[in-house]
């Protein structure tokens, strides 16, 4: 993507595997330290008026900035708290503004959610913050759970609205069995995500926060395995990060997906060198 004028520049400390939205920026990913980052649409995001004395970071590069620079959630919280740059929200190819919020997790189980509200960065940091959906702002999402916890699963909201999906995800995650079996754990998480996904073709005009789910990803932080499922493919595949060269001498690689390729199992050998300029 074309960076904004006076863009923030950095040298990556860590390698990563990412899923790109529109081939413009990082939407989801995991780095070589097991830190994961996930962006979601948030219509009320407000990054404030850019200050002329600061450099600019596109929100489409926000997740990649975190994956490249931080090994833990705590490092990212401290780093972004102190960061002195403007967040820039470019227009997406579909005409919508890139209004986004960010969730991150590390192998210790620590989590954080970052949102820009009324021009200010708001951070929710702690191991209890396990679920994030599109809307509303995270403080209101947390307030929703207080009501539904009292019902203790007697019934759950079933619409595709993001606040309903937040409630269902929270309930199913809290009642899911704990297991050390990686295959079973990944399957449990995928089953929860599928339950709260919006089916293909179920788009609500004027409500981009109720749009078809395009992909689902699950990260095994302990073993550094990144699972991926495209909504328009009939299968799951995964990448073992330890089978990739994520060192400073490693090449930029891409897994081709644009020609309806179908992958299954571990696919590290299917990556090809990406010749695109960066």
The residues near 180 (Cβ < 8 Å, ≥ 6 apart) are none
pLDDT per residue, tens digit, the chain (278 aa), is 556 778 899 999 999 999 987 778 899 999 999 999 999 989 889 998 888 889 999 999 999 999 999 999 999 999 999 888 988 888 776 666 788 999 999 999 999 999 999 999 999 999 999 999 888 889 888 887 777 777 666 677 787 788 888 888 988 998 899 998 989 999 999 999 998 888 877 666 666 556 778 899 999 999 999 999 988 888 899 999 999 999 888 899 999 887 888 999 999 999 999 875 44
pTM: 0.89
The residues near 132 (Cβ < 8 Å, ≥ 6 apart) are 38, 40, 101, 103, 113, 138, 141, 166
Interior/surface letters 20-50, b for 16+ CB within 10 angstroms, e for the rest: bbeebbbbbbbbbbbbbbbbbbbeebebeeb
How far apart, in whole angstroms, are the C-alpha atoms of residue 138 and residue 121?
Answer: 12
């Amino acid at each position: 993507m074309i960076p904004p004028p006076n863009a923030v520049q950095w040298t990556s400390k860590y390698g990563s595997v990412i899923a790109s939205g529109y081939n413009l920026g990082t939407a989801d990913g995991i780095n070589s330290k097991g830190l994961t980052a996930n962006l979601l649409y948030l219509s009320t995001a407000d990054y404030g008026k850019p200050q002329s004395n600061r450099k600019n970071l596109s929100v489409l590069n926000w997740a990649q900035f975190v994956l490249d620079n931080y090994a833990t959630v705590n490092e990212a919280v401290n780093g972004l708290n102190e960061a002195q740059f403007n967040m820039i929200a470019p227009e997406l190819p579909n005409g919508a503004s890139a209004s986004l919020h960010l969730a991150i997790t590390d192998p210790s189980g620590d989590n954080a959610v970052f949102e820009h509200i009324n021009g200010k960065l708001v951070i929710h940091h702690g191991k209890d913050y396990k679920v994030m959906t599109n809307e509303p702002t995270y403080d209101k999402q947390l307030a929703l759970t207080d009501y539904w916890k009292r019902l203790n699963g007697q019934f759950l909201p079933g619409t595709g609205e993001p606040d309903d999906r937040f409630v269902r995800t929270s309930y199913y995650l809290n009642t899911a069995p704990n297991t050390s079996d990686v295959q079973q754990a990944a399957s449990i998480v995928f089953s929860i995500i599928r339950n709260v996904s919006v089916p293909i073709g179920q788009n609500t005009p004027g409500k981009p926060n109720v749009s078809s789910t395009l992909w689902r990803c699950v990260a095994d932080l302990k073993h550094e395995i990144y699972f991926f499922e495209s909504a328009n493919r009939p299968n799951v595949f995964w990448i073992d990060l330890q089978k990739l060269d994520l060192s400073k001498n490693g090449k930029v690689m891409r897994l081709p997906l644009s020609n309806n390729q179908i992958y299954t199992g571990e696919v590290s050998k299917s990556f090809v060198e990406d010749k695109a300029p960066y």
